[in-house]
Amino acid sequence: MYNILKKELNGFIFSLIGFIVVLVFLVTNGLFIWVLPDMNLFDYGFATLDTLFNIAPFLFLFLVPAITMKSFAEEKKNGTIELLFTKPIRDMEIVIGKYFACVLLVLISLLPTLVYYFSVYNLGNPIGNIDSAGFFGSFLGLFLLGSVFGSIGVFCSSLTDNQIVAFLLSLIVSYLFYQGFDLLSGIAEKGSFTILISQFGIQYHYQSFSKGLVDSRDLIYFFSIILFFLSATRLKLESRNWR
């Protein structure tokens, strides 16, 4: 597993994908939070990083599929997946190795935003006037959201040998999970299923985190979605042996 993880990370670094993803993520966030008029923190006047947590999911929606789209699709296209299959490692190790490489990249792109926290912490009046629990809750939520997108991306990548198809597919599925269910629940506003449907979506749980509340139900939701897609990926890889 570690050797797969290491190989994938090397791939991110040498192909510059890793740098570009982190760069795009930070530059866009930085622009929205600090620079662009009307939207930036100084004009807004409140010591909060809500902008970050509202924009970052949409950035991840595009960046995470971009990271994961090549994980299996490229190997399938090049035929190198056969090499991995013939080696003495389990399918799940391949999946988890590739998945963790993506999660690690999400984490790396998130870590520098801690600087934003300290900036706002010190810019507050009085100093430290920031909802720390809200920030760290959202931070965890954002990380889990990226991880869920990652698992969706890895799964979609295993379905096809075309990277563009993999990208678009994971974009759609990720969006369905991020906002789709929430929007769907809005159709039957007064129905009894409204909450149930919206609970299927990430938005519902993500918002719960942003209140600074780390609820085990939300954690279980994120972890079960991740586990579901990783198992589905393994199943897809295993299907080569089905007759």
Each residue 53-92 as x (binds other proteins by CB under 8 A) or -, in order, gives ------------------------------x---xxx---
List Cβ<8 Å contacts ≥24 apart for 165-173: 165/73, 166/65, 166/68, 166/69, 166/70, 166/72, 166/73, 167/65, 167/66, 167/69, 168/65, 170/64, 170/65, 170/68, 170/69, 171/61, 171/62, 171/65
Residue 50: both structure tokens together: 């809500």
Tokens of 33: 């939070």
- Rounded distance, CA 83 to CA 87, Å? 7
Considering the complex, what minimum distance in angstroms separates the CB of residue 21 from other proteins? Answer: 19
- 225, 209, 217: which is closest to 53 by C-alpha? 209
Look-up of token digits 């979605």 = 225
Contact 202, 178 (CB under 8 A): yes
Interface with other proteins, residue 3, by CB under 8 A: yes
CB of 80 to other proteins, least distance (A): 9
The residue among 89 and 172 lying less far from other proteins, judged by its C-beta, is 89
Query: In the complex with other proteins, which residue's Cβ is closer, 89 or 159?
Result: 89
The smaller minimum CB distance to other proteins, of residues 5 and 144, is found at 5
Q: Minimum Å distance from CB 147 to other proteins?
A: 25
Closer residue to other proteins in complex, CB, 6/240? 6
Q: Residues touching other proteins: how many (CB under 8 A)?
A: 9
Q: Which is nearer to other proteins, 7 or 240 (CB)?
A: 7
Fill in the per-residue mask, 6 to 45: x = in contact with other proteins (CB under 8 A), - = not in contact: xx--xx----------------------------------
Let me know if 162 is exposed, middle or buried by CB neighbors in 10 A (0-12, 13-18, 19+).
middle
Closest CB to other proteins among residues 45, 88? 88
Binding stretches for other proteins (CB under 8 A): 3, 6-7, 10-11, 83, 87-89
